[in-house]
Amino acid sequence: MKKWKSSGNIQRLELKDIKHSKSESHLLTAFDDKNPLDDKETITIEFEGDGPLGILFINNNDNAVVNRIKTMTVADEYYNLEVGYIVSKINDINCSNFRYKETSDLIGLTWNKFNKICIEFIKPELKIDENCPVYIFLKENKSEEYYQEFVDLGVKCLEDLEYIEYQDLINMNMKLENRRILHKVLKLNEKQKFQKTPSLVFTDIDDSDTVDI
């Protein structure tokens, strides 16, 4: 899977460049408030390229959540971007207390103007289901400690294992002994890139309020 990382300083848009449903003073003071998402694990991705960004966001409790990653777009080239990630910061702007429309508007305006954007995402907490076929498969092959890494790659069911490549095992820093076991069991060879599919991480979502950037 391709791994891209842009370099250099990321330009930004000011808060005045977007229309807010909250007052400006409220937005500026909101950063001082404690947000329940602040202590979660985060990942920062710098996107850069031509054409659409390719991320479909959905509103979940006023958070902008990655709902789908379009193929053949800029976002599709970043293997570490996953469905279910929550936007918490755009360039140097903390938007964890923004309303959904403010966050999606800022992403759209920034991308359309610069074709470059740095987004910090909050990773949703992983709840391991020991009855999950993927977890059972990994446990049977002494590799259950890598369950999170397989989920990050987009593996949701046993059929998805067909798209795993040997390089994916290397990228997740899997021990050689485990790689040998899975290489034999999965009969790994050159395969096409795994296409990410929508996750069921969030069930309380408003399907009518989506933004495609």
Say yes or no to pLDDT of 4 above 50. no
What's the whole-number average pLDDT of the chain? 78
Q: Which of 46-55, 103-112, 140-149 has the lowest mean pLDDT?
A: 140-149
- The b-or-e profile of 142-167 (16+ CB within 10 A means b, else e) is ebbebbebbbbbbbbeeebbebbbbe
How confident is residue 74, by pLDDT bands cut at 50, 70 and 90? very high
194 inside domain: no
Condensed to tens digits (0 to 9), the pLDDT of residues 178-206 reads 999 999 999 876 444 444 444 433 334 45
pLDDT (0 to 100) of residue 151 = 85
CA distance 91 to 36: 21
CA distance 162 to 166: 11
Say yes or no to pLDDT of 40 above 70. yes
Report the CATH number at residue 24: 2.30.42.10
CA-wise closest residue to 10 among 123, 122, 124, 106 = 106
Instruction: Enumerate the β-bridge partners of residue 200.
Output: none
Q: Check if the beta carbon of residue 23 is closer than 8 Å to that of residue 99.
A: no
181 inside domain: yes
CA-wise closest residue to 93 among 23, 22, 38, 15 = 15
Query: In terms of domains, do 39 and 99 share one?
Result: yes
Query: In terms of domains, do 26 and 114 share one?
Result: yes
Say yes or no to pLDDT of 45 above 70. yes
2 inside domain: no
Spatial CB neighbours of 27, under 8 Å, sequence gap ≥ 6: 15, 20, 97, 98, 102
209 inside domain: no
Exposed, middle or buried by CB within 10 Å (0-12, 13-18, 19+), for 132?
A: middle
198 inside domain: no
- Whether the full predicted model's pTM is greater than 0.85, yes or no, is no
Token couple for 97: 């207390």
Give the count of domains, the chain. 2
How confident is residue 212, by pLDDT bands cut at 50, 70 and 90? confident
178 inside domain: yes
- Give the domain extent around 151: 133-186
Query: In terms of domains, do 19 and 96 share one?
Result: yes
Say yes or no to pLDDT of 125 above 80. no
**Mean pLDDT for the stretch of residues 139-168:** 90
82 inside domain: yes
Say yes or no to pLDDT of 68 above 80. yes
94 inside domain: yes
User: Which domain-ending residue is among 105, 124, 143?
Assistant: 124
CA-wise closest residue to 200 among 147, 134, 156, 149 = 156
Query: Residue length, the chain?
Result: 213
Instruction: Enumerate the β-bridge partners of residue 122.
Output: 42, 86
